Amino acid sequence: MSEDGFNMSLRKYLKRVGVTSQQTIEEATRAAREAGQTGAVDARMVLTIDGKEINVVEGRITLEESA
């Protein structure tokens, strides 16, 4: 595969990951707020390639709207 082909494939995958991840996070945080949860939720994203864990990104997402 050419470098251009690889880069295009990677960009398409990352775009899909970004869009679907944001939708899923929005749904989960909306449900948490509707259930009365306040403060923040812990989030964890795990990247695997061919079944091998490559990277883990952890963080907190604030549920309150900023003023």
Q: What SS3 state is found at 11?
A: helix
- Cβ(54)–Cβ(48) under 8 Å? yes
pTM score, two decimals? 0.80
**What confidence tens digit (pLDDT) does each residue in 19-51 have?**
999 999 999 999 999 999 999 999 999 999 999
- Domain borders along the chain are 3-62
Query: What single-letter amino acid sits at 28?
Result: A
In whole angstroms, give the CA distance from residue 56 to residue 25. 16
DSSP 39: S
Looking at the DSSP bridge assignments, the partners of residue 46 are 56
Q: Name the residue among 67, 64, 57 with its Cα closest to residue 17.
A: 57
